[in-house]
Amino acid sequence: MIAMVQKMGGTLLACLSLLFIPALTADECCSTGCPDSCHTIGDAVWVGAEFLFWRPYFSEQEWAVVTTTETQSTPNSSFEAVEFDNQFYQNAWEPGFRVRAGVDQFASCLDLSFSYTWIEGKDRKNLHTPGSFLDLATSTDHFRYQTFDLLIHRTCALNCCHIITPYFGLQGLKFDQWVDTVKTSSGSTANDKIRVDGWEEALGLKFGAHYDWRIYNCLSFFFDGSFSILGGGQDLKQQEITFFNSLNTSNVTHHDNTSVCIPGFHIQTGLTFHGCFCSTAYYLTLGYEFLDWFNIQQVRRGLTDNGQIGIFNSQLGQRVGFQGLFVGAGFQF
């Protein structure tokens, strides 16, 4: 544990040390091929927006188990062979958006930026197993993911056409999840209704670096990598109500509220085109990104037998990740 902390501290110091590298001007690096009138010098304010097309990946997302029992015989005995088939949510590609704003050289050679990301989606599952104890089951998993960043940047031209921009600052995370499941037993005389409501809020530090390679005139290749460590709270309420012949026979509720530390990382890569129109600088960007968060809340499994099984399943341990494409544009004024 001490070695890991020392390694993380060394990485952070290395990133922060880049803030003190003397910055070169664009002319000292290489020609961008863009007219000078397109580049605002000094306290430039810029805004941008991006369309996201991501696919979410959630671990620990079983919602049902199909049990198959078969009687097998040997010359001396007979026994039952049982097979369990876990059913998982498989979230599809979902649209989202990200907005950005910033001020260049708001303090000496430091830049300031703000961004907000939002994406929401759901997955609906149906399971029909006639002849078994569980005849029919339906479930809907709904999530909403939001983050914001407030970062300080320092642009450093390392050599011709290669620019690295280290940054650090604050990041916030809000993750909400709702699950509704209905299970109907044989003969439709009994059914279970399960409702899960959970939210997660966290705030902490983010640091990383943005690498920009101007490959041709106004066209650049970029790579961005960052690490975050957040602290916050989680709240998860899971309720199972059992009906038999339309009468409520059981009502079991688990409620968890705890503080938690949430690490995560985020990588992006793609192309950016810088241009100008009527003396206004703009950019167009297209790329791919991947991000992953650890220690996120998860739905308790096996909430049966008056809840005794679910008690032994921790609410923590889920990983929440996204990967996909983004396309966007922005301008200075």
Q: What is the pLDDT of residues 92-139, one digit of tens each?
A: 899 999 999 999 888 778 899 999 999 999 887 777 665 555 566 777
Please name each of the domains of the chain with its CATH number.
Answer: 2-62+96-332 (2.40.128)
Q: Which of 219-233, 289-303, 318-332 has the lowest mean pLDDT?
A: 289-303
Q: What is the mean pLDDT of residues 204-227?
A: 93
Answer yes or no: are the C-beta atoms of 138 and 182 closer than 8 Å: yes
Q: What is the model's pLDDT at position 321?
A: 92
Q: What is the model's pLDDT at position 272?
A: 95
Q: Is 29 left (phi over 0), alpha (psi -120 to 50) or beta?
A: alpha
Answer yes or no: are the C-beta atoms of 16 and 166 closer than 8 Å: yes
Q: What is the model's pLDDT at position 281?
A: 87
**pLDDT tens for residues 151-173?**
999 988 887 688 999 999 999 99
The Cα–Cα gap between 234 and 251 comes to 23
Residue with tokens 């096996």: 302
pTM of the full predicted structure? 0.78
Torsion over CA of 192, 139, 128 and 130, rounded to 10 degrees? Answer: -10
